[in-house]
Amino acid sequence: MSDFQRVETHDCPMSSCAAPAGSPCRTTKGKVAIQYHTARFRLVPALAKALNVPTPAVRKPGAVWVELPRPAAAGVEPVGHIRIGYARASTARQSLDTQLDSLAAEGITRVFSEKISTRVAQRPELEKAVALARELRTSGARVTLVVHEHKRLGRGIELVTLAQDLKAADVGLQFLTGELQGSHDPSGVVFNVLAALSGMEREYIRDRTLEGHESARNRGKTIGGPTVTNSDMLTMALQMRAEGVSLRDMAPRLVITTGAKKGQHPSPPTIMRMLREHDERAAATATRDLEAAGGH
């Protein structure tokens, strides 16, 4: 059996194609595709690592697509097990090398990776990985999303949402290391437990951080890094605010004069915080003056 016949044993799982078994893949313009879609030929274990599978001349690539009869043996060949990798780092400074190396060691060649915080509502590469897994699963293949460690997927509500997506798509999940190393059924209880523990961990960290800040304030310590503002900067900012200048336009016109950031411009949030603190001090002073005047 030739490669294209092996590929055509399966329906194409790509929603933009959806060519039935026995027919070549098609383009969105209704033409026979020049090569079979990756998601389709990777359903064939022997072709899982192939870069492409060209459409043979007998299928007339580029011609108007027409549906051909399904082969009698359609569905007989095992669809195999497809594993899709995902790697994530929270910041641009963090390296993905360890995660990518562990996925490669498992023989996983299709990997989605990104550098983005779990606090970001949408993670494009994770969404692409889940979408591809869902499309492949519709063809009957067993699909597993493989991750280096469960924390790469997120915490709390992020894991709950992901678990719901995987459960609905009947996609498996595997962790290569960490406390939850191994394969997990997304329909099982592990995701609920994992989400609960992750949510508790985030709340614990938050509470400890707030307690530390409160303790530091009680001791007269300043929270956060060294200030980059001063009275001269405040005076200029107040004048520009009175003239209707926006925070974004103020930033390049103000310069930090001391510290490690000397010579740089303050950010709009820094200017906003400086002005807000000034307004709060001014309001407190005005209140005290009124109270003092009332006492007399």
Catalytic annotation, residues: 90
The CA angle 101-103-106, to the nearest 5 degrees, is: 110
For residues 130 and 186, the answer to whether their CB atoms sit within 8 Å is no
Non-local CB neighbours of 226 within 8 Å, separated by 6+ positions: 259, 260
For residues 131 and 143, the answer to whether their CB atoms sit within 8 Å is no
Determine the residue type at 229: T
Q: Determine the Cα–Cα distance for residues 14 and 51; give it in Å rounded to an integer.
A: 17
Q: Determine the Cα–Cα distance for residues 237 and 296; give it in Å rounded to an integer.
A: 36
Q: Determine the Cα–Cα distance for residues 278 and 285; give it in Å rounded to an integer.
A: 11
Q: Determine the Cα–Cα distance for residues 38 and 33; give it in Å rounded to an integer.
A: 12
Q: Give the residue ranges of DSSP H helices in the chain.
A: 3-7, 38-41, 97-105, 124-137, 157-169, 190-218, 231-242, 247-250, 268-295
3-state class (DSSP) for residue 66: coil
Within 10 angstroms of residue 269's Cβ, the number of other Cβ atoms is 10
What Å distances lie between residue 31 and 17, 56, 289, CA to CA?
10, 14, 80
Q: Determine the Cα–Cα distance for residues 129 and 136; give it in Å rounded to an integer.
A: 11
